[in-house]
Chain A
Amino acid sequence: MQPPAEHVHWLFATGFLLLGLCLLAEAVVGTEVWQRRAWRAYLWPGIAFALGVLMWPVMVFYTNSTLHMFAHGAWAQVLMLAGATELALVRGKLRSKWWRLAMTSGFLVSGTAFLVHEQNAWFFQRSAFLHHLLGWTLVVSAIFPLARSIRPRSQAAAAGFALTFVVVAVLLYCDRDVASVFGHISPLAGAPHR
């Protein structure tokens, strides 16, 4: 009954896409309008927290290697921390804008985990390529949550932050267990499939 790894990536992509759309909408209409209804204010931090919780079963069931287990565990923790911090900021339990740095650390830890746990080279096969690309995307995009911490009202930072989740969703949807990338696939990767 355990889903193939690519299906897990697609399910998480769906969560990230919803998260990205919510953040894009917030960036367009402004935080004041977005937070006019309590359920909407809690929506995207709640999704982020839920994605963190859902990373725990991934950590438990996908134990390809110790490194995978550590990477998935680290993601679970930083996603939950970032989601919980944003929830507390919305609720008013936390007030300092610097708490938003939790999301920055979430991006950096997630990006580093992607890069560290991918042991193959970029063009080994598609999932290797995507793990490298996802890792660097998250590391570089950490500039957006950092900018949100420094300038919470910056629309550019909010839009960049939102688009990062959409890009991550697209990259996760591109994932396949064994497939070529730009015509490259290592003979060690196994038989490719669609």
Chain B
Amino acid sequence: MNAELVTELEAPAQRTARARIVSALGPTTVLAGIVWALVQPYRVTLLHPRGETFWFLFVEPPLLVIAVGLLFHFVILPGLLEDLEAEHAAAR
């Protein structure tokens, strides 16, 4: 097989892997937060409030983890994937 062709075939696969890995960061974080909320439901005080003070209702770690995952996925990722694709297009 022509080595040049192999290089051409391998490069897009590698680039796709990069896009896939970076796309998985947000959902993985959200999943981690959901699993945590299921394993320790008492950490989500909003589900069962019993006269807790402000901070116990405001700072709920599993929800914060989910929020970070969502923030990354919907705010940071779209532009990053666009730029990754643009770089690939320029490299072709």
- Write the residues of chain A forming the contact surface with B, with a CB cutoff of 8 angstroms: 1, 3-4, 7, 10-11, 13-14, 17-18, 21-22, 24-25, 28-29, 32-34, 36-37, 40, 43, 173, 194
Contacts and interface: CB of A to CB of B under 8 A. Distances in A.
B73 to A, nearest CB: 10
Contacts of B68: 14, 17-18, 21
Interface in B46-64: 54-56, 59, 61, 64
A7 B76 CA distance: 26
B84 interface: yes
29 contacts: A1-B54, A3-B55, A7-B59, A10-B59, A10-B64, A11-B64, A17-B65, A17-B68, A21-B25, A21-B69, A21-B72, A22-B76, A25-B76, A25-B80, A28-B18, A28-B21, A29-B18, A29-B22, A29-B83, A32-B87, A33-B83, A33-B84, A34-B80, A36-B83, A36-B86, A40-B80, A43-B76, A173-B65, A194-B40
A21 B87 CA distance: 21
Chain B interface, >50% SS class: helix
A90 B36 CA distance: 36
Nearest to B55: A3
Contacts of B72: 18, 21-22, 25
Given A7-B55, A14-B68, A25 B22 contact: yes
Contacts of A3: 55, 59
Nearest to B15: A29
Contacts of A18: 68, 71-72
A37 B54 CA distance: 38
B42 A24 contact: no
Given A4-B55, A7-B59, A33-B84, A17 B29 contact: yes
A53 to B, nearest CB: 19
A121 B49 CA distance: 35
B87 A40 contact: no
